[in-house]
Amino acid sequence: MTVVYLNGQFLPEDQAHISPLDRGFLFGDSVYEVIRAYRGTPFRLDEHFARLAYSLGEMRIGAYLSPLKEVPARLVAENGLEGKDALVYLQVTRGAAPRSHAFPPPDVKATIFGMAWAFTPNPAWRDPGVSVILVPDFRWSRCDIKVTSLIGNVLAHQRAVDAGAHEALLVRDGAVLEGTLSSLFAVFEGEVRTAPLSNYILPSITRSVTLELCRAGDIPVREAPIYDHEVPQAEELFIASTTHELSPVCAVGDRPLPPERPVTEKLQRLFREAVERECA
Ligand SMILES: Cc1ncc(COP(=O)(O)O)c(C=O)c1O
């Protein structure tokens, strides 16, 4: 039996009821987080909660987050996932109210939902790695907010699936910004590069961990645009996300990338060491 969290209660999934008038359902008026638990311990929980607070603030959704911080560990425990690798999903919507574009009255409470499930990444994402295609970025211009209105990401991702690829990299004004569910890194002449933070990308937690690891590991790194015309010259490309960790790109469209990936492999090692340290 799966136990979920809904508005202060832990209860069986089939007893968790959300109103059809919930604005998360009607408008996609909600934000979310996906948190990785290693051996049952949430990784970078503070960073995920800081981003959740940012998303809620930008959306002007009022929700008191402090008590919520216990929810990921409790969901892990309630679902028998202690000591296991898992994902925890949290979503906060603006609540249920008669349908109207305008915000509901302030007494309408946010809906807060959480669930957890056992998760191990597909080994193929590490070896041979993931294939990608480039797709025009037709999402909105507030990609820095982690909203559940993900239709732009979904449509772009499906183009990758239809093309037999694993991920679609989103291109806006010639810059390859990020994937539909991952951030993007490239290595040029030994230097790691990723798009700078802006309203056009998600402030990915794995991206910030990767930057931290580059700096700690003396790997040259720069936050600067990666242009689509530069992609063929990249020595290595990898995507990064909570679910993927760091996954090397093995092909862009029909063009394979070299199988040697010294920088990606060093960062994967450093990432694993960080997990070992922080989720002992
Ligand atoms: C568009 C986008 N970029 C990047 C990421 C990676 O973010 P994180 O490292 O916080 O999982 C995600 C994850 O869902 C995403 O949806």
Q: Mind listing the pLDDT tens digit for each residue in 163-198? A: 999 999 999 999 999 999 999 999 999 999 999 999
**Closest residue by Cα to residue 6 from 158, 118, 111:** 111
Q: State the architecture of 3-118 in CATH terms.
A: 2-Layer Sandwich (3.30)
- 40-43 CB contacts, 8 Å cutoff, 24+ apart: 40/73, 40/76, 40/77, 40/81, 40/82, 40/83, 40/84, 40/86, 41/73, 41/278, 41/279, 41/280, 42/72, 42/73, 42/76, 42/88, 42/279, 43/242, 43/275, 43/278, 43/279
Q: Whose CA is nearest to atom 13 of ligand 1?
A: 181
- Is residue 88 exposed (0-12), middle (13-18) or buried (19+ Cβ within 10 Å)? buried
In angstroms, the CA 49 to CA 65 distance is 8
pTM for the model: 0.97
Compute the distance from residue 193 Cα to the ligand 1 centre, in Å.
17
- pLDDT digits 0-9 by tens, 224-264: 999 999 999 999 999 999 999 999 999 999 999 999 999 99
Q: What are the boundaries of each domain within the chain?
A: 3-118, 123-278
123-278 has the same fold as 3-118 = no
Compute the distance from residue 151 Cα to the ligand 1 centre, in Å.
15
Cα angle value 38/40/43 (rounded, 5°): 45
Beta carbon of 242 within 6 Å of any ligand 1 atom = yes
266 given a catalytic annotation: no
Say which CATH topology domain 123-278 has: D-amino Acid Aminotransferase; Chain A, domain 2 (3.20.10)
Atom of ligand 1 nearest to the CA of 242: 11
Beta carbon of 181 within 6 Å of any ligand 1 atom = yes
